[in-house]
Amino acid sequence: MKYDIVLCGVGGQGGISVSVVIARAAMAEGLKVKQSEVHGMSQRGGEVLAHLRLADKEPASPTIPLGGADLIISFEPLETLRYLPWLNAKTGLVISATKPLINMTGYPDLAKLQAELEALPNKLLFDADAVAREAGNVKAANIVLVGAASRSLPLKEESLKTAIRELFGRKGEAVVAANLKAFDYGRTANS
């Protein structure tokens, strides 16, 4: 078994927490995990990329080969397109937030961007911010995406929830509950 995930977005969107939650859940289920992040300058509003590799034997490369990803989880629609070359062209799934973050010049036409996303073969597109707001925690769009991904990840729902409890535990019960709710809302989010 091997399951490769590309996580992408813009600095400050909480991508690293998503990586941590999925990695912990995978390890709790006995899988081997390799997790690669880029820190530093990229965090300042630039694009952020993490590679997460789950397998029953230790993955070799810290990064995923082109065409190798089973799943892209994206916080931002332009970033989704940027990393498509890493997605398995036949079976790869894209789970992407649809709200653009326009902090740059030359951001593409939104209608064209939307059309490109709609044309993807396997996809789940939704406004993760709106779902997070519905769930009562605007900051939890990242965990909403984990919830959405939980329908496809080769991991048990409960393992992911346990990882969320562990990650947010020291911030108190209210924060844990809010993130679990965001997870549940994401799990049932429609495209």
Site for another protein (CB under 8 A): which residue of 67, 136, 154, 172?
67
**Is residue 105 involved in binding another protein (CB under 8 A)?**
yes
For the record, the structure tokens of 19 come out as: 């990586």
DSSP annotation of 65 reads P
One character per residue 134-163, x = contact with another protein (rule: CB under 8 A): ------------------------------
Count of residues that bind another protein according to CB under 8 A:
55
Does 170 help bind another protein (rule: CB under 8 A)?
no
The minimum distance between CB 42 and another protein, in angstroms, equals 6
Q: Binding to another protein (CB under 8 A): which residues in 5-44?
A: 10-11, 23, 27, 32-44
Strands 2-10 and 47-55: antiparallel
Name every residue whose Cβ is closer than 8 Å to that of residue 161 and which is 6 or more positions away in sequence.
Answer: 180, 183
Question: 32-37 and 47-55 as β-strands: parallel, antiparallel, unpaired?
Answer: antiparallel
Per CB under 8 A, 92 contacts another protein: yes
Residue 167 touching another protein (CB under 8 A): no
Q: Which of 13, 22, 25, 86 binds another protein (CB under 8 A)?
A: 86
CA distance 187 to 181: 10
Give the position of tokens 């769009």: 141
Burial grade of 78 (CB within 10 A; 0-12, 13-18, 19 or more):
buried
- Residues of this chain that bind another protein (CB under 8 A): 10-11, 23, 27, 32-47, 51, 58-69, 78-79, 81-82, 84-89, 92, 103-109, 112-113, 116, 120
